[in-house]
Structure 1
Amino acid sequence: MDAAAGTRGARARTGIAGLLLAGLIAATSLGSFGPPAGAAAMKGPDSVADTAANVMDAVVNISTSQTVAPSRSVPTPELPPGSPFEEFFEEFFKRRQQQQGEDNAPRRVSSLGSGFVIDQAGFIVTNNHVIADADEIYANFADGSKLKAELIGRDTKIDIALLKVTPEEGKPLKAVKFGNSDVLRVGDWVMAIGNPFGLGGTLTVGVISARNRDINSGPYDNFLQTDAAINRGNSGGPLFNMDGDVIGINTAIISPSGGSIGIGFAVPANTAVPIIAQLKEFGEARRGWIGVRIQQVTPEIAESLALGRPRGALVGAVTEDGPAAKGGLKAGDVVLSFDGKEVKDMRSLPIIVADTPVDKEVEVVVVRKGTEEKLKLVVGRLNEAEVAAATPEAPEAKPDAPKVETQKLLGLDLAELTPELRTRFKIKDELKGVVVMAVEPGSVAAERGIAPGNLIVEVNQEATATPKDIENRLEALKKDGRRSALLMVADPEGQIRFTALPVD
């Protein structure tokens, strides 16, 4: 190698070294070496072994058994005499019937789930679906002991069951306590312990993925969502926070494959605790009730009522002589808070009311005709057997019916209510308003479900008796700059609902 080549090589090496040094300085200044900013918040929690060891013995495997009826035998098919398959089928079904005769006795089937002890006296919480239809229920403990359990009470609405075992002499049970699920935030760490696929004492860790999930499993859906692995057999098991408090009861998963895909749901502790207390005291759930039918406040309804934004629950109808009626609540009121709790939307009001103790006097904040008012009412008890009657369809007008003078507004043909129209549409005597004779196809009114035979009872909380009343009210709304009109609509049976239609 000549001197020039050596010099060029030395310069190259020096340049490379300089670039590496510059890169090192740049990387260090950008934080590329060592953990990036916020990494401590991104990593998992410190070991949960101590917390798990403290609560593991309180988690039990729930095993059940039940007797099922034998399956029906398949009759031997009738074949034409001399058929080439006659002998084959006779032999086949003869063997089949002999086998079924042996298996025709009632069979015992078993299933597995999870649960947890909440009281050293032997009270255990699990899901109702874990023990549904069971003839025998056993709690299997971590130390290998097995105790027969008695069903104290169940609540199908939130899928909770309370069991009771009798602890063995000198062997007190380990119990866990409930925590406050309302303080949980999305991203908080949680751990689930249960009996997935029969593998008892299994612990998984994850975070709260979402709150207040409605999965259409019942009227009081308010689930915590977690990505902690929950599988079949985890049902009824506890979901713990990092302090070892139960903040949820694992109940359901979304799983196309049958295994965990990181979407599990737990009943929040604050939803379950009052129900468990009622099951313990009464053997049944006793929910609050006020006697209203409600509907969602849509953006159009919010605009028509000058609410600013969709919020609260709109009262569509009030049960006569019910707690709400006695407390002064009226159709058209928008409930903003109940017993000091904010009513964010329609779905939250039934949950709040159901969790309120029966016979408690509460304050209700409503918006009525643009003004906020405070009312007081005493919460009643929900009768679970109550079922709303189906609404009959309005009958078609008879071909020979006399012609009725109508006025077209809002995509509706409207007429003044007469005795003839009351009879034609079978409208109850106590109902008043303007009759809908026809609905323009494809109109907003048609999309909102308004039908012939309905009554327009109010427009923006002002009573209407004639189509002219509605026209005047619409003109006033236009002058006020309103884009929507809030209609109180009644069907012939008197079922009330509200809907907003554009005034133009």
Structure 2
Amino acid sequence: MKKFGSLFLVSLLSGATTLGAYKLFFDNSSTSSKLSVSGENYARNVSLGAEGVDFTTAADNAIHTVVHVKNKTVYNIPSNPLMEFFYGYQGEGRQQTQVGTGSGVIISEDGYIVTNNHVVKDATELEVTLNNNKTYKAKLVGTDSKMDIALLKVDADAKLPYATFGNSDNIKVGEWVLAVGNPYNLTSTVTAGIVSAKARDLSNQGIQSFIQTDAAVNPGNSGGALVNTRGELVGINTMISSPTGSYTGYSFAVPSNLTRKIVEDLMEYGNVQRGVLGIEGRELNTAAANEFGVKETTGVLIGKISKNTGAEKAGLKKGDIINKIDDKGIITFADLTSYINTKRPNDDVKVGFLRDGKLMSTTVKLTKKELINYDLKGLELEDIDAADKKNFRVNYGVKIKDITNDELVEYADQLKGGIILSVDNVKATDIETITRVLSKKGENQRSQIELLTNNGQILRFLL
């Protein structure tokens, strides 16, 4: 009996120890999870579903900073000779007003508002309505059509609630975000989703760098806020990818870091200050790696260095593979441009690259984009400015500064100073666009050029 009692006591103590250890382990695990979630740089969420995330505070803050933007465009109705002949219809001289709507985000208490360029494009009158139903006339401060950002200003009678910029570089794929705007004129609408991808380029030109989300965005959401669960502005909702024109699961936003830089430029300089590395290149994949005989399948392979640029002065060469800018890893061309677009001329960036299989780095001082001349197949090119647009009555194009191509030297008097309008039926909106078109051509392949000569004639030829 004594022996049985001893055995029972040992069993009881063992069970208690096991139970205590079990409870201690899971209590500590639970505490650890709570600490990691509440910390500023939390690594994981305890709950995998939306029910474990509180959206209410972020939504409440955001709806007061998002405005309804109404643009009015007045245009003349052209005459119709047939209508006039048969019905006495008088069209010429009459005007018609078209009204468009979108969203915007208040970014300062004194009334600066950021929206999309396409929301306010060609507007003759702008009006914004706050969440408290107060309406103000707005004036256009400046635009960046390339990144589809516009800056407005209203003179309010009181300090306005405004959004706080978050760091869009720090958001992660899978992180919860809210889209706030006015779809279909339904004001103060909030939808939730996750970050689906970063540095998304829909143009296949390496210029765009959108945040992709699956938060529901529809017509009218353009220019509205994309915020994280802390209510910080991480993007400006810009577009959707849809065969129907309505939301089908994909929406895209301009990152807040890029938006903030554009806004600051418009406030300080009146236009966007763009710095460039001074390289032409292409992103790597298996096919490109095989084509150029390299092992790497990620990064940007330099194909050409522009003269008198920071890249040339820093010692970068054709064949180098850029895989890092400052602390940002570079996998695609969009990764590279998205980071450089947040910088200004004369900013220094540290470029990490591979040369002959060796990891190297150098510091590059960014060059002002407008100061770079590009040489393409014997044509020295530069982007057109406001004076060129006015003189030639165009709103896009690339200017021919000089000609060194033997095939075209005899036509230099006509072509020099002319404006390239398209290359292989692709609009020459800027130098980056046509360099990408031409970079895909072999040395012996010709390109169809549409050009406006310096005396105003349209000329088409093969180069």
Q: Is TM > 0.5 for Structure 1 vs Structure 2?
A: yes
1:233 to 220, 224, 240: 220
Using the alignment, how far apart are the partners of 2:46 and 2:341 within structure 1? 43
Shift of 1:345: 2.8
- The one-character-per-residue Cα deviations of 1:71-102 (angstroms, maximum 9, x if unpaired) are 331426xxxxxxxxxxxxxxx9533x33x44x
Of the structure 1 ranges 359-368 and 247-256, higher mean CA displacement relative to structure 2 is found in: 359-368
Partner residue in 2 for 1:58: 65
Query: Deviation digits for residues 420-454 of structure 1, max 9, x if unmatched?
Result: xx98999xxxxxxxxxxxxxxxxxxxxx8645599
Confirm whether residue 272 of structure 1 aligns to residue 279 of structure 2. no
CA distance in 2, matches of 1:139, 1:46: 32
Tell me how far 1:265 sits from its aligned partner.
Answer: 0.9
1:310-329 matches, within 5 Å, as: 310-329=297-316
Which of 116, 120, 132 is the matching residue for 1:131? 120
Is 1:146 the counterpart of 2:135? The answer is: yes
* Per-residue deviation, residues 301-337 of structure 1 (Å, max 9, x unmatched): 6468885431221111111222211222222222222
> Unaligned 5+ residue runs, structure 1?
1-37, 77-91, 393-421, 427-447, 455-492, 494-504
Distance 1:140 1:384 in 2: 41
Secondary structure class of the residue paired with 1:75: helix
Q: In 2 relative to 1, CA 284–450 (structure 1 residues): closer, same or farther, beyond 3 Å?
A: closer
Q: How far off is 1:187 after superposition?
A: 2.4
Question: 1:118/1:218 Cα in 2 relative to 1: closer, same or farther (>3 Å)?
Answer: farther
Q: Residues of 1 paired with 2:254 and 2:86: CA distance?
A: 52
Name the structure 1 match of 2:56: 49
Whether the aligned pair in 1 keeps the contact of 2:306 and 2:372 (CA below 8 Å) is no
What is the CA-CA distance between 1:341 and the residue it aligns to?
Answer: 2.6
Match of 1:190 in 2: 177
- Is 1:69 matched with 2:72? no
The CA distance in 2 between the partners of 1:262 and 1:300, in whole Å, is 30
SS in 2 for 1:329: coil
Q: What code does the residue aligned with 1:242 have?
A: T
Judge conservation of contact 1:63–1:139 (CA < 8 Å) in 2.
Answer: yes
Asked whether the equivalents of residues 314 and 346 of structure 1 are also in contact (C-alpha less than 8 Å), the reply is: no
The answer to whether residue 334 in structure 2 is matched with residue 347 in structure 1 is yes
- The corresponding residue for 1:118 is 107
Give the aligned length. 348
1:216 aligns with 2:208: no
Candidates 86, 92, 114, aligned match of 1:94: 86
Superposed CA offset, 1:130-169 (max 9, x none): 001111111111222111112111111211111111111x
The residue that corresponds to 2:321 in the other structure is 334
Alignment-mate amino acid for residue 350 of structure 1? T
Secondary structure of the structure 2 residue equivalent to 1:315: strand
CA–CA distance in 2 between the matches of 1:299 and 1:269?
32
Superposed displacement of residue 53, structure 1: 2.2
- Matched residue of 1:347: which SS? helix
Of structures 1 and 2, the larger Rg is shown by: 1
Distance 1:253 1:45 in 2: 28
Aligned residue number for residue 233 of structure 2: 246
SS at match of 2:63: helix
Partner Cα distance (1:62, 1:321) in 2: 44
Looking at structure 2, the residues matched to 219 and 108 of structure 1 have their Cα atoms a distance apart, in angstroms, of 37
Aligned partners of 1:45 and 1:189 also within 8 Å: no
Alignment partners' CA distance in 1, 2:204 and 2:121: 16
Q: Which amino acid aligns with 1:63?
A: K
Offset at 1:42? 2.8
Aligned to 1:376, the other structure's residue is in SS state strand
Structure 2 distance, partners of 1:423, 1:282, is 41
Query: Does the CA contact (< 8 Å) of 1:157 and 1:219 recur in 2?
Result: no
Give distance in 1, aligned partners of 2:56 and 2:357: 56
The answer (yes or no) to whether the contact 2:301–2:319 under 8 Å persists in 1 is yes
What does residue 18 of structure 1 align with? Answer: none
Aligned to 1:413: none
**Counterpart-to-counterpart distance in 2, 1:255 and 1:50:** 31
The one-character-per-residue Cα deviations of 1:247-297 (angstroms, maximum 9, x if unpaired) are 111100122223222211111212222122112211211111122111233
Give distance in 1, aligned partners of 2:67 and 2:315.
49
Deviation of 1:43 (Å): 4.2
Provide Cα deviations, 1:220-264, integer angstroms capped at 9, x if missing partner: 322122222111000000011111111111100122223222211
**1:373 equivalent in structure 2:** 360
Show the 5 A alignment for 1:331-480.
331-383=318-370, 389=376, 450-452=442-444
Say if 2:58 and 2:227, in contact at 8 Å, map to a contact too: no
Equivalent position SS for 1:55: helix
- Asked if 1:283 corresponds to 2:287, the answer is no
CA root-mean-square deviation? 3.2
Q: Greater shift after overlay, 150-159 or 348-357? A: 348-357
CA separation in 1, counterparts of 2:121 and 2:210? Answer: 21
Q: Give yes or no for contact 2:183–2:220 (8 Å, CA) kept in 1.
A: yes
User: What SS does the aligned partner of 2:339 have?
Assistant: helix
